[in-house]
Amino acid sequence: MIDLKALRENPDLFRNSQKVRGEDPSVVDQLLKADDERRVAISEFESLRAEQNTLSKAVGSAKGDEKNALLENAKQLAASVKAADGKRAEAEERANKIALLIANLIDPAAPIGGEADFKVIEQIGTPRDFKKEGFEPKDHVEIGKIIKAIDTERGAKVAGARSYYLTGAGALLELALVNYAISLAVKAGFIPMIPPVLVKPAAMEGTGFLGQAAENVYHLKEDELYLVGTSEVPLAAFHMDEILDQLPIRYAGYSPCFRREAGSYGKDTRGIIRVHQFEKVEMFTFCKPEDAQEEHKKLLAWEKEFFDSLEIPYRVIDVASGDLGASAVRKFDIEAWIPTQDAYREVTSTSNCTQFQARRLNIRYKDEKGTKPVATLNGTLVAVPRTIVAILENHQQKDGSVKVPKALIPFLGMDTLVSA
């Protein structure tokens, strides 16, 4: 949730932020109006409550006819107080609903534009020249069949489109990636966590996933629970309605993730790049607001360290304003080189959400001036399917086998993936 005081003081800043995100700037004015109405309703209620308290004291000291008259007044006043309280509650609910429609205030340093308007910050590694090596690279689906690691046909038979089995070397590769990622996270000071993946509406709404992202969320209506698309959701909500004593706090959550992919009809229909269910390790930080930008750099550095060790060419991009989502003020993506697509594809993302999620989830910390919302940040250390795609395609050999990156060998127990 945005800072309402900041919005009152500089509404143009928020109007512009909405505009460059591709969102409706008029909600800012709707909120200003609703906020005025809310404050008037609160003032009227409090005024009547004060009058009621004064009258109650007078009734206590009155006698006879005077007391009877005061009691009649008190009865009428009680009805007015009840009505005013109802109006106050309605006004607050209306203002809160509108406030939830306003995205976080964008970082001025973020590039302006849509999905294609990102800025490349750096490019690491050089894509292999397969022609020089004397063969055409196979895509991950073909390699997965050769080494019996991926079965999308049976996945579709059992669970429908965008589903898959990881078998044999594929299953072992996932476990190796997860264990390696968790070991790096623990070494960096993160507390490992396996969170719930079914969460209440408050957790989804608090993290900003029931707004523009709601179409991609699986909702179990009968139970009023949601399947998470990222462990960012349960990690953020872990400290909901709490005051934190020591900051920063860093968690690394391992979980399955579920996404409907409602807006991706026809995209990436082959293979496991875009799927409905996958596993990942997510980093999550609670810190002081003034430390958030530096923490964002650290999360990106840990992501880079991970992909450097996998010996995969990649680039880092600064995501444009229209592709940030509701919560992030700035986002950096790592995109791995995929040889058969002749393109870089997103494999990780790290976002600075400042105090936006903490306000919604009521997570605060104490300093000498009192309590205030913490800042929250998240970053994917490994999203398994896309990382497997990058490993298979970049480390494939002419005979169809796959060379295992040195960093993964201790976790996988082999240096080459071959047909079983």
- Which residues are designated catalytic? 259, 274, 346, 349, 386
3-state helix/strand/coil string of the chain: CCCHHHHHHCHHHHHHHHHHCCCCCHHHHHHHHHHHHHHHHHHHHHHHHHHHHHHHHHHHHCCHHHHHHHHHHHHHHHHHHHHHHHHHHHHHHHHHHHHCCCCCCCCCCCCCCCHHHCEEEEEECCCCCHHHHCCCCCCHHHHHHHCCCEEHHHHHHHHCCCCCEECCHHHHHHHHHHHHHHHHHHHCCCEEECCCCEECHHHHHHHCCCCCCHHHCEEECCCCEEECCCCHHHHHHCCCCEEECCCCEEEEEEEEEECCCCCCCCCCCCCCCCCCEEEEEEEEEEECHHHHHHHHHHHHHHHHHHHHHCCCCEEEEECCHHHCCCCCCEEEEEEEEEHHHCEEEEEEEEEECCCHHHHHHCEEEEECCEEEECEEEEEEEEEHHHHHHHHHHHCECCCCCEECCHHHHHHHCCCEECCC
Give bridge partners of residue 318 from the DSSP assignment. Answer: 119, 332
- Which amino acid appears at position 310 of this protein? L
Q: CB neighbours of 206 closer than 8 A, spacing ≥ 6? A: 236, 237, 240, 357, 360, 361
Sign of the C-alpha dihedral computed for residues 38, 44, 48 and 54 taken in this order: positive
Q: CB neighbours of 129 closer than 8 A, spacing ≥ 6? A: none
Spatial distance between the Cα atoms of 160 and 302, rounded to a whole number of angstroms? 35
Give bridge partners of residue 348 from the DSSP assignment. Answer: 334
Closest CA to 380 of 351, 357, 353: 351
Sign of the C-alpha dihedral computed for residues 58, 60, 64 and 70 taken in this order: positive
